[in-house]
Structures are given as structure tokens and as C-alpha cells.
Amino acid sequence: MMKPELEKIDSYPFYVEPFHVDFTGRMFLGILGNHLLNAAGNHSQRRGWGIGALNETKHTWVLSRLSIELTDMPRQYEHGTVETWVESVIRLFTNRNFAILRADGTPYGYARSIWAMIDIETRRPCDLLSLYDGDILNYVVDEGEKPCPIAPHGRFRFRDAKLVRTIDTHYSDVDINGHINSIKYIEHILNLFPIESFRDQRLQRFEIAYKTESRLGDRLAFYMQVVDDNETDVEVRREADGEVVCQAKVRFAIYNNR
Amino acid sequence: MMKPELEKIDSYPFYVEPFHVDFTGRMFLGILGNHLLNAAGNHSQRRGWGIGALNETKHTWVLSRLSIELTDMPRQYEHGTVETWVESVIRLFTNRNFAILRADGTPYGYARSIWAMIDIETRRPCDLLSLYDGDILNYVVDEGEKPCPIAPHGRFRFRDAKLVRTIDTHYSDVDINGHINSIKYIEHILNLFPIESFRDQRLQRFEIAYKTESRLGDRLAFYMQVVDDNETDVEVRREADGEVVCQAKVRFAIYNNR
């Protein structure tokens, strides 16, 4: 049953801490990603289908896609808000959107994500429409009511990607499930780019598709493929077996608001 | 002049987010370190000698030592508080202490730190006793009034340290000043230890002495020296010129509270 006191859209406040900004004074994208995931976690938690509730029923959320598009990046000492809502639910996946807002309500940008729910033991996806009697459907906010004015998730086509770096994974990369954490992939991927990319340009859009879990001790191989002057695709593979762990699209733009 | 509405001791609340815990569900030490530095920043900011105020007068705080000792580490979803206060001030340095408290007020542990203030242009230390007419002295809380029941900062004696890892530094390592950020050193140092150290033991005490700034693109060489079964010293040197960047002591203990 829908909890009548809860709105469909949640707000998650954030503050841009000194250690959360890059050398230009702008928030690291990984930190922003962390705020988005916290906002998503709170939203589902408060409605009864968060990780805590799900542990009792042996289910958990798994992030499959995340696409973030920004006209500006929050700067040191700024206060902002992440709004999040469920755009749609199909049997095995839900689309969750985000607005990343300044203190005055104007947008820094938006994000889209796709999540599945899996059974912790079998690791197989669950039917979202039947879980908790399909309660999640009570919270769907359709596109007309709350738009998310950025392009849908793109497609990846790797043809001539070149190996650019191989890294060992360490203690700080791993989350409570023993997997390399979703945010650390974002950090490692952005670390492939030369500093000039961040100095003379701004990150306009970042997409990531999570394919397979990797674990502590896995060596990860990073392959890059230049799409055009502004866009680069990155594929991360487990070195041992070549399995694709995640894929990302990184698009920079010349600064329009230095 | 002392601002009469302000207590000498500040409280900084924290919450243990899912992406801030390690594979055991305990907060990463680097995240705790970040909370300590935020607490310190807020404390001095509110009293008029924070970074913002100092920029006008072209001064900034530089962290020289940080020693953290814990009987327990905050766990996922816990709420806690960092208390911070100035223990003493001598001409060029101030000692700032921290208590890391559970929601019920009992301690997870304590920390000590030493800071200098430097002139941003000359990079030379400033006389804290004369800055803002020595206002900082109004906020000193002596040991009798507010104890910090952990050992003082130790001494480092590197004799037979062995090179164990060399790393490149990347975009995500660098702060707004273009330096490798203080917290990232903590992460890289803990990443030297095998996973068993964190699985079968707990981090009991961590000390770090910051010696020289390193910058994006510097390669950092990590040297380790085993002190005894529980304690290891680490020295981080700039590979290019061998300059010591920082030194750390890492002490583990067998879990007493799994």
C-alpha cells in the first residue's frame, strides 16, 4: 500500500565539501554519483523497498545503467539538492531519474538510471511488479508530470578500442559486498583522461553500463575508443578472463561558464 | 575578540553512508579523516579564522600531523559526532584534538592533529599568536578540561624500509590547490596492506606526518618497515627526487568487538 504521507519525489540535500572538489574547484563526478545513489537509496528505503527491508526478504537492488548530463558542476561550498523519482517500472527493471538542483532550484543537470532487483542467494532478477504487491507502481511519476530533459542511455559499439591502462584493485576499491564499488569505476575511468580535459573543458555527459561484478584482487584492463573530438568510450575488462565489467561514454564540452 | 555565543568545542555530525564502508561494513579511515578535517574547518571558519576569512588575508591552514586511535570503527548506517577543540597554540603551530563519538556519546576513539598557518604567497609559516590579535587563544581548552586520552604523535625512524609499490597520481588524487590531497595518501597507504589485515584485525591507530606537497603527475614510491607484529611504518617518497612526502604508522589489533 502506498504510504499517503510520502510524495512520489524525494529530495536529498548535499553540500560541496573541500575534499570533494577537483583542482578546478568543481565537485568530482564520483562524489555526485555517490549523492545520486544515496538519494535513490533513501527514496526506496522510506517507501519500504530499500536495502534494509529487502534484506529480510533476501533481495537487493543492482544498478545497471547511470547517465548523468550537466550544464554546470557544483562548486566548493555550494549547497544543492538531488531530486529523485521512479519514471517507469517494467517486470525486471525500473527507470529512476534525478534532477541535480542549485539552492535556487535551477538545474546543474539531470540523470537517468536503470535498476534491477535480484535475489541475494540465486543472484537472479526478481519480478518488480509482484514484489510487495507491486507497491513501487504507486510511486511512478510519468514523463509529462516530471520531465528529465536529457537523452536516453546510449548504445556501445566497441570496434577498435585500445588498451590504455591496467590496474590492480585494492582495499579502498571494495564495497560491503566484496565487489569493486560502482563509484570507484567512475573514478578510475576519469583518471584515464589527461588533466587538460578537466582544465580546458568540462564534463558534459557521463554514462556507465555495469555488466559483471569484479572483486578485490581482480586486475582491470581499461580500453579506450575515441568516438569524436568530444566523446570517448571506455570498456573495462577483467584481465584474467577478458570478461566485460563495465562500459562508459565520456563527453566533454568547452566551458560555457567559467 | 572572542565571539561570546560560540563554545570552545564544536560538534560535527556524521552518518555512515553505504559507499563509505569497507568490505567488513566499517567506515574507511580516509572517510573518517575527511570528517575530522571538515570538523576542523567548520570550527575555525565559525570563529573567523577559517580558509574563507584567511583568503582575504592570504593565509591558509596546513595539516602537519594527524594521529587517530580507535577502539571501534563506525559501521554502516550509524550516526555519530566529531567533537573538535584547540588544545594549545605555540607561535607557529596549534594542536587540535578530536573525539569521535557514537550517537549515545560513548567514544569510538580520539584524534590529535598539528596545524601550521602559512602565507599563501611566500609559503612561509605565520605567527599564530599575533594573527587576528591572537584570537585563537580565546578558544584553547586545556587537557584538564577536555582530555584526549590517546598517546601523543610518535617518532619515525626509517632504517631498513623496503620499496613495496610505486604509483602514478591521477586526476582523482588532486585537490583544489593542485596537490595530492591529504586523504588520498591515507587511502594509498592502507591499500598497501593485504586484505587479511582488515578482515582478521581492526585498525587501532593510524598516524601520518605530512612533510612536502606532491603534485599531479608525481610518481609516488611507498616504502614499508615492519616495526613489530602489529605495527608497520610507511614512508612515501617522490620518485623523481627521493623527497619524503609523508610518513605513516599503521597499527592493527585483533578484533575485540566483532
Of A77, A181, A193, the CB nearest to B19: A181
- Report the distance separating Cα A241 and Cα B236, nearest Å: 34
**And the C-alpha cell for B47?**
570563529
Residues B70 and B35 in one domain: yes
B133: left (phi over 0), alpha (psi -120 to 50) or beta: left
Q: Is residue A70 part of a domain?
A: yes
Q: What radius of gyration do chain A's Cα atoms show?
A: 18
Contacts of A77 in chain B (CB under 8 A): 52
CA A206, distance to chain mean position in Å, is 9
Q: How many CA atoms lie within 13 A of A145 on its CB side?
A: 11
* Candidates A28, A172, A191, partner chain B, best to mutate (most B CBs within 10 A): A172
The whole-angstrom separation of Cα A234 and Cα A248 is 5
- pTM score, whole prediction: 0.94
Q: Give the whole-number percent of chain A exceeding pLDDT 70.
A: 94
- CA B14 to chain A, closest CA, distance in angstroms equals 13
Domain closes at, from A139, A173, A199 = A139
Which residues span the domain enclosing B80?
A: 10-139
Helices (H), A145-226: 182-190, 195-200
**In the predicted model, what is the mean pLDDT of chain A?**
93
B31 and B114 both lie in a single domain = yes
Strands B94-102, B107-119: pairing kind: antiparallel
Determine, for residues A176 and B17 on separate chains, whether the beta-carbon distance falls below 8 Å: no
Q: Does one domain contain both A71 and A16?
A: yes
Same domain membership, residue A134 and residue A31: yes
* B184 assigned to some structural domain: yes
- Domain assignment present for B226: yes
Nearest Cα of chain B lies from the Cα of A29 at a distance, in angstroms, of 10
Q: What is residue A2's predicted lDDT score, i.e. its pLDDT?
A: 54
Exposure on the CB side of residue A208, measured as CA atoms within 13 A = 22
Nearest-CA distance B241 → chain A (Å): 22
Rounded to a whole number of angstroms, the distance from the CA of B61 to the nearest CA of chain A is 13
Residue A14 and residue A106 in one domain: yes
Please report the pLDDT score of residue A60 as a whole number.
Answer: 86
Which residues of A touch chain B, with CB atoms under 8 Å apart? 17-19, 21-25, 28, 30, 34, 37-38, 41, 51-52, 76-77, 170-172, 174-178, 181-183, 187, 190-191, 193, 195, 198, 216-217
Starting at the edge strand found earlier in the chain, the sheet holding B10-15 runs: B10-15, B79-89, B94-102, B107-119, B59-70, B201-210, B244-254, B231-238, B219-226, B162-168
Q: How far is CA B238 from CA A57, B30, B159, B212, B234, in A?
A: 51, 21, 18, 9, 13
Of the candidates A217, A220, A248, A23, the one whose C-alpha atom is nearest the C-alpha of residue B217 is A23
B191 located within any domain: yes
Residues A57, B86: Cα–Cα separation, whole Å: 48
Q: Let me know if residue B149 belongs to a domain.
A: no
Residues of B in contact with A174 (CB under 8 A): 22-23
Instruction: Note whether A241 and A126 are same-domain residues.
Output: no
A with B: how many residue pairs have Cβ under 8 Å apart? 90
Residue A4 has pLDDT above 80, yes or no: no
Segments in A47-153 forming alpha helices (H):
51-56
For residue B167, the chain A residue with the least C-alpha distance is A167
- Please indicate, yes or no, whether residues B134 and B171 belong to a single structural domain of this protein: no
- A222 domain residue, yes or no: yes
pLDDT tens track, chain B, 258 positions: 555 557 899 999 999 999 999 999 999 999 999 999 999 999 998 888 876 666 667 888 999 999 999 999 999 999 999 999 999 999 999 999 999 999 999 999 999 999 999 988 888 998 999 888 888 899 999 888 999 999 999 999 999 999 999 999 999 999 998 999 999 999 999 999 999 999 999 999 999 999 999 999 999 999 999 999 999 999 999 999 999 999 999 999 987 554
| Spacing of C-alpha A70 from chain mean position | 13
Whether B152 is covered by a domain: the verdict is no
Element (H, E) at B34: helix B29-46
* pLDDT at position A257: 52
Among the partner-chain residues A25, A170, A187, the one whose CB lies closest to the CB of B191 is A170
CB of B18 closer than 8 Å to CB of B76: yes
Contacts of A49 (CB under 8 A, 6+ apart): A131, A132, A135, A136
Is the backbone of residue B109 left (phi > 0), alpha (psi -120 to 50) or beta? left
Same domain (yes/no): B14, B73: yes
CB contact under 8 A, A176 and B23: yes
Q: Please give the pLDDT value at position A119.
A: 87
Q: Are residues B69 and B169 in the same domain?
A: no
- Cross-chain CB nearest to A178 (options B17, B23, B30): B23
| Contact criterion met (CB < 8 Å) for A34 and B24 | no
Say yes or no: A180 and A114 in one domain. Answer: no
CATH number of the CATH domain containing A91: 3.10.129.10
- Residue A191 and residue A132 share a domain: no
**Same domain membership, residue B168 and residue B51:** no
Domain count, chain B: 2
Residue B145 lies in a domain: no
